[in-house]
Amino acid sequence: MKTSFFSKLSIITLAVISFASCQNKGPYFTVEGKIANADTTMLYLERRSLNETTIIDSVKLDADGNFKFKEPALGYPEFYLLRMDKQSINLAIDSIETITVHASKPTFASEYTIEGSEGSVKIKDIVFAQNKLSRTVSDLRKQFESKGISQDQYVVEIQKALDEYKTKAKDLILSDSKSLASYFALFQKVDGYLIFDPYDKNDLVAFRAVATVWDLYKSKSPRAEHLKTFTLTTLAELKQMASQEETMKKLENTAAADHSVFYNITLPDINNKEVSLSSLKGKVVILDFTAYQTDFSPAHNILINNVYSKNKGNVEVYQVSFDTDIHAWKNAATNLPWVCVRDSKLLNSEWLAKFNIQGFPTTYLLNKNGEIVKRILSTDNLASEVQKLL
């Protein structure tokens, strides 16, 4: 049987359409639901990758508030956001699930329900726990700054709040390490700092657990490689810190005369007057290497000032700045009540090598004989360590 040109053309066209349809078919995930009281409001679906958050779709809600987003699955788990104005709902997308979200515009991020994604439900619990911790920390800071509570009370209550969050998060992490919710819980922050401290051996257990499981089961995810690198780097740094502690122990046994000569610093203050570290001998000294033009500096100096003020007359601070802007350094140092000096050699300073300074701030304690007795770690309580030397 002969086939006409038009029949052939029809067959070819159908084949092309069929091929195109097959090409367009693929794994998708769906996010749908209803947002009450949101008429004419824009709703955005955003992807949260390691390095950026990107808008991938949006819809202008009508009076009914119904919405539906259908997007290609990535082939590995990832975080997404439903965002309305400045409110966001975190979502965990593992594969091709259909997630249903119901909320109301006024309480979009605080009173919502999620179905179809156990990971997203768990993340909701973590978000609420992190929000509670942030509010508690903020309230305690205000009480402390207004002298409503003592420093000891402040430290104790902060630790209680941290432990409450960590207990909840660790239960999740250790029971389901390969979930997106576990990864999410691990990297939550308060005031820009990780709640789980990777340099704390108890917290490091959680990082290692998630890193190991993700490397085995979610190796396609960029987050798996990131977490593996992050954890291995931390372990290497902890090993180096242990070595530094060993070095400090050896220094304790060094003859006092040689010790004081080798480590005595003499640098100019804001009036260009040379001030030596040895001139403070007879008092406990907080030797601090820092840079005022950093985000951590204000909070770090508040911590030092709390200890300095409480022990005024018995404790001195010798603070060495490595700020590149001399005028900014002088402006900041003028308002500080202790010895402030600056090393103009900056990263070429001999003190970086002698004191094994890998980053700022780096803090040491000297006893009344001018001997270095301790390098302050992130897990140490400065006030407690100073008290041991008084």
Q: How far from 237 is each of 22, 215, 221, 233, 244, CA to CA, in Å?
A: 51, 21, 25, 6, 10
Please state the domain extents for the chain.
28-116, 124-236, 260-388
pLDDT in tens, the chain (390 residues): 444 433 444 444 444 444 344 444 568 999 999 999 998 899 999 999 988 999 999 999 999 999 999 999 998 999 999 999 999 999 999 889 999 999 999 999 999 999 999 999 999 999 999 999 999 999 998 998 898 988 888 888 989 999 999 999 988 888 888 899 999 999 999 888 889 988 888 888 889 889 999 988 888 899 999 999 988 888 887 777 666 666 556 555 544 444 555 578 999 999 999 999 989 989 999 999 998 888 788 888 999 999 999 998 899 999 999 988 888 899 889 989 999 999 988 878 888 888 888 788 899 999 998 888 889 987 889 999 999 998
Output the pLDDT for position 251. 53
Output the pLDDT for position 258. 47
For residue 201, the tally of other CB atoms under 10 A from its CB is: 10
Asked whether the beta carbons of 158 and 140 are under 8 A apart, the reply is yes
Q: Which CATH architecture has domain 28-116?
A: Sandwich (2.60)
Nearest to 32 by CA among 75, 77, 79, 67: 67
Dihedrals φ, ψ of 29, to 5°?
Answer: -115, 155
Identity (one letter) of the amino acid at 346? L
Task: Name the pTM for this structure.
Answer: 0.58
Candidates 3.40.50.720, 3.40.30.10, 3.40.309.10, 3.40.50.150; correct CATH number of 260-388? Answer: 3.40.30.10
Output the pLDDT for position 10. 44
Asked whether the beta carbons of 35 and 84 are under 8 A apart, the reply is yes
CA distance 185 to 255: 48
In 37-116, the DSSP E strands lie at 42-48, 53-60, 66-72, 78-84, 87-93, 98-104, 112-115
For residue 194, the tally of other CB atoms under 10 A from its CB is: 14
Going by C-beta distance under 8 Å and a sequence separation of 6 or more, which residues neighbour residue 230? 198, 207, 211
Dihedrals φ, ψ of 213, to 5°?
Answer: -70, -40
Output the pLDDT for position 114. 96
Residue-wise DSSP of 160-203: HHHHHHHHHHHHHHHH-TTSHHHHHHHT-EETTEESS-TTSHHH
**Parallel/antiparallel/unpaired status of strands 112-115 and 98-104:** antiparallel
